[in-house]
Amino acid sequence: MDKKLRRTIIAGNWKMNKDRQQTAAMIAELIPLVKGKDCGIALCVPYTDLETALNAAKGSNIAVGAQNCHFEESGAFTGEISAGMLTEMGVPTVIIGHSERRQYFGETDETVNKRVKAALTAGLEVILCVGETLTQREQGITGEINSMQLKIALSGVSEAELRRVIIAYEPVWAIGTGRTATPDQAQEVCAQIRGVLAGLYGQKAAQGVTIQYGGSMNAQNAAELLSKPDIDGGLIGGASLKAPDFAKIIEAACM
């Protein structure tokens, strides 16, 4: 199957940045810059900005996402937000398994799997993040780590549900460091990831999955990364915080 048959998706991950006023202002600035672009565009914002972002992006080609959700529907889980709470607001997308969640908040492959399943059951689209640390890359286990993270995260996810899953390959050593994976490094792992998906769901299903690269992607390096056959988009942190920077990446990615 041809790469062109997959949806190119550029998603911003704002992490813990921007208040509501800044959210409304940036989306208002971004809308005219990306008008008519024929690819998926999303901004994953803090929970407290979701409603503002949904209102600001209404009627535009910008989708709004959250950055995590819990696996239970409700209950005694102080500080958590359920998948159903997101869909009830009209949020279509959620990031699950970001390395910062794994690194700082005790997220494991098992809890990532539970969150992925809960999000899909609630009807959300999931951006599932996987990626190796620098030590793991130096130990030569990049393929094994990404394969393991992927297989555990997708355990119990059906082929029909996989159509609502985007994979973000984010090498931990490239996130927020300014040290981007080379296009060849990123392509190598994204192709491996597609191979793992083919093993789990068959070639046809695997060819339909959008695989993003994430980690210091910016307006300068986006076009070359996105020219690779298995890189279908980007998950962008720092460079998604300013409308002109983010728009330049979208310009590089989408017709």
Residue among 40, 84, 131, 214 that touches ligand PGA (CB under 6 A): 214
| Under rule CB under 6 A, residue 233 binds ligand PGA | no
| CB burial readout 62-75, b (16+ within 10 A) else e | bbbbbbbbbbeeee
Site for ligand PGA in 95-154 (CB under 6 A): none
Question: How far apart (Å, rounded) are the C-alpha atoms in residues 255 and 241?
Answer: 22
Residue whose CB is less far from ligand PGA, 32 or 176: 176
Q: Could you say which residues in the range 158-177 bind ligand PGA, by CB under 6 A?
A: 170, 175-176
Q: How far apart are CB 241 and ligand PGA at their closest, in Å?
A: 9
Report the C-alpha dihedral over residues 126, 178, 143, 67, rounded to 10 degrees. -20
Min dist CB 213 to ligand PGA, Å, is: 10
Residue 249 binds to ligand PGA (criterion: CB under 6 A): no
**Are 160 and 209 spatial neighbours (Cβ–Cβ below 8 Å)?**
no
Q: In the complex with ligand PGA, which residue's Cβ is closer, 149 or 216?
A: 216
Q: Is residue 98 flagged as an active site residue?
A: yes
Question: Amino acid letter at 229?
Answer: P
Tell me the site size for ligand PGA, rule CB under 6 A: 13
170 is catalytic: yes
Packing angle between helix 142-153 and helix 183-201, nearest 10 degrees? 40
- Residue 140's SS3 state is coil
Q: Which of 100, 125, 132, 170 is catalytic?
A: 170
Position 106, amino acid: G
Pick 84 or 231: Cβ nearer ligand PGA: 231
Check: CB of residue 146 under 8 Å from CB of residue 109.
no
Q: Name the site residues for ligand PGA (rule: CB under 6 A).
A: 13, 170, 175-176, 214-217, 235-239
Residues carrying an active site annotation: 98, 170
